[in-house]
Chain A
Amino acid sequence: MNGLDQLTPIILTVITASTPLLFAALGELVTEKSGVLNLGVEGMMVIGALAAFAVTTQTGSAVLGMAVGALAGAGLALIFAFLTLTMLANQVATGLALTIFGVGLSALAGTGFVGIALTPLQKLDIPVLSSIPVLGPLLFNQDVLVYLSFAMVFAVYWFLNATRAGLILRAVGVSHASAHAIGLPVKLTRYLATLFGGLMAGLGGAYLSLSYTPMWAENMTAGRGWIALALVVFSTWRPGRLLAGAYLFGFITVLQLHAQGAGFAVPSQVMSMLPYLATILVLVLISRDKIKIMQNAPASLGKPFHSAK
């Protein structure tokens, strides 16, 4: 077996480990860019995982499952948006409550789905291209959600940087007072951005329960929502860096497991720490330009907005 042959399965595992993070973090990035801090990512993910799994096992349609998973995430986001944007509740507290609510609700509603096995999501094989050695199976033989996650990175980048709606969203995130003064729809923009964050978190959850580990288990997100949140901040709200951060995290997670299997004499506790350390270190190092951070950070993040103010 040559080195490249060994690398292929590692990278395949990295892709599965990174995809749910990428979905959830991309959604949160857009939400935060509009000035809303939603700490309920974990809750929206886990609800999405349950909804997707339940619908797929009941109807047999994974596509329908994904759609409902995304909508379930958005449903939870809608509750958050109503409480924080219309009722002006504190965003941090509401987000935390949303996570606790999502984890608890999914555990309760999911009791009937525990212990059911599901065939994993079909891989979409792109003929000819997938038979290219090494690159073929990596790039052209993934399930639909993996392709979608990559497409979304470009879509979000394009939306934020090249469209009028993206400009409005960023303006609302930088200064809602100014945006309101020139007649931009602050509340509507934030509602939509929050809902988008919910959709994406729901999709990340759906990927977990349909493809990553095709089953439903309570609290199966196991903290991935929080990692997604951290990735958004450390990538300084830039989609490209987010992609790099999510894959770096996934890569080191998988690599340390491989290193243990290969018998590297490093304590496993240190190994478990590595993905967090390395990701933070790299993202902080590549984003240490203060002016760039100032330009990218949504200045009104987490601040409540009321048009009378």
Chain B
Amino acid sequence: MFRKITLAVVAAAFALSTSVGAIAEENKVGFIYVGPIGDHGWSYRHDVGRLAIEKALGDRVKTSFIESVKEGPDAERVIQQLASSGHNLIFTTSFGFMNPTLKVAKRFPKVKFEHATGYKRSDNLSTYSGRFYEGRYVAGVIAAKMTKSNVVGYVGSFPIPEVVRGINAFLLGARSINPKITIKVVWVSTWYDPGKEADAAKALIDQGADIITQHTDSPAPLQVAENRGVYGFGQASDNLHFAPKAQLTAIIDNWDSYYVSRARAMLDGTWKSQDVWGGFKDGMVSMAPFTNMPSDVSKLAAETQAAITSGKLHPFQGPIKDQEGKVRAEAGKVLDDGTLLGMNWYVEGVEGKLPQ
């Protein structure tokens, strides 16, 4: 009995899909987040982008998300689950989802995939990322003006190019103002562990850092900065209410317009595999209001941001030397995107060795 009904349903569904075509199909967009949407940082901003799709496209699409997916073998299972449950477009929003996404994309050639911050693409797999280093450069400029100890503490997650690039951009920004600035980096080997991130920030302050910045997802390091009376920067979203006296600005990830345009392209049938790396200019990266600083510093920060937006200034403009003193970019030259994407060396001024 049950089987007969199932068969009938399948037959009906098949008939419908062939006769009515794409219109009757339900369009679903799926998201996979590495952290909880309640992290108030990275995953939260992706979810804001998902909600923007719902707002802009209304009934034309349904969205769903799975949060706190660990990077690793389990991710493949989760992506596969989304792909096999009728999602037409799937965003996988962390670097560590790269290989699992590629594998699942091969198995589901009709489903479209978008992987954030990675570099492996195929006919149905796009990559996209923000040029967050532009924001880091501006933050570095501000830090150089605000520090007294000339030591910046940087809480890092994992030594991958995305993070290393941010550290380097921050330092180059800082050194463009004050060549005495150095950066101390502490790796916590996690994207999200408020306690450990806080401990790392405390360790850095104890070692003389009076500016704390981070490439991890919770507001804990910023909160430590507030309690210890030093300055800090918000990560991924504006966290001023966590640190009303300490936050100088925040680098804000802004996925809304990209997500809406990609979902629309999927609906219109114009979706193509591509690689997008957007910065200030494209609205993918923006800065929170400049706070807790004198007006000349906020003016300088705004000018720096404007110069990067207009293309007059590139954060990775030569001369750039690495830690060993080797010249990586001659004066007047700019590092190309390939070099930036694979960055696995520190610029001069970062302390310690980069774990390989």
Contact = CB atoms under 8 A, between A and B. Distances in A.
* A and B part of one assembly: yes
Interface of A: 6, 9-10, 13, 16-17, 20, 107, 110-111, 114-117, 120, 208, 212-215, 217-220, 222-224, 253-254, 257-258, 260-265, 267-269, 271-272
B223 A215 contact: yes
B195 A215 contact: no
B186 A261 contact: yes
30 contacts: A10-B203, A13-B199, A13-B206, A107-B38, A212-B194, A212-B195, A212-B198, A213-B194, A215-B219, A217-B40, A217-B218, A217-B219, A218-B38, A218-B39, A253-B199, A254-B202, A257-B199, A258-B207, A260-B185, A260-B187, A260-B203, A261-B153, A261-B209, A262-B207, A263-B353, A265-B352, A268-B186, A268-B189, A271-B187, A272-B188
Nearest to A264: B352
A222 B195 contact: yes
Contacts of A215: 194, 219-220, 223, 242
Kindly list the 8 A-B residue pairs having the minimum CB-CB distance in the complex, ordered from nearest: A268-B187, A218-B36, A272-B189, A222-B193, A263-B352, A257-B203, A114-B38, A218-B38
A114 B218 CA distance: 11
B179 to A, nearest CB: 19
B196 A253 contact: yes
B47 to A, nearest CB: 11
Contacts of A253: 196, 199
B189 A13 contact: no
A257 B200 contact: yes
B227 interface: yes
A157 B192 CA distance: 35
A20 B193 CA distance: 14
Contacts of B39: 217-218
Given A220-B195, A269-B355, A213 B223 contact: yes
Contacts of B186: 257, 260-261, 268
A257 B188 contact: yes
Given A111-B38, A115-B40, A213-B194, A258 B184 contact: no
A101 to B, nearest CB: 15
Given A107-B38, A257-B200, A261-B184, 7 more contacts: A13-B203, A120-B227, A222-B195, A223-B193, A257-B199, A261-B153, A268-B186
Interface in B218-246: 218-220, 223, 227, 241-243
B278 interface: no
A253 B187 CA distance: 12
Nearest to A220: B194
Nearest to A114: B38
Nearest to A250: B199
A264 B36 CA distance: 33
Pick from B36, B40, B153, B220 the residue with the most CB of A within 10 Å. Answer: B36
A107 B189 contact: no
Nearest to A115: B40
B203 to A, nearest CB: 4
Contact of A107 (B36, B194, B203, B227): B36
A114 B219 CA distance: 11
A247 to B, nearest CB: 14
Contacts of A213: 194-195, 198, 218, 220, 223
Contact of A261 (B189, B207, B241, B355): B207
Contacts of B193: 222-223
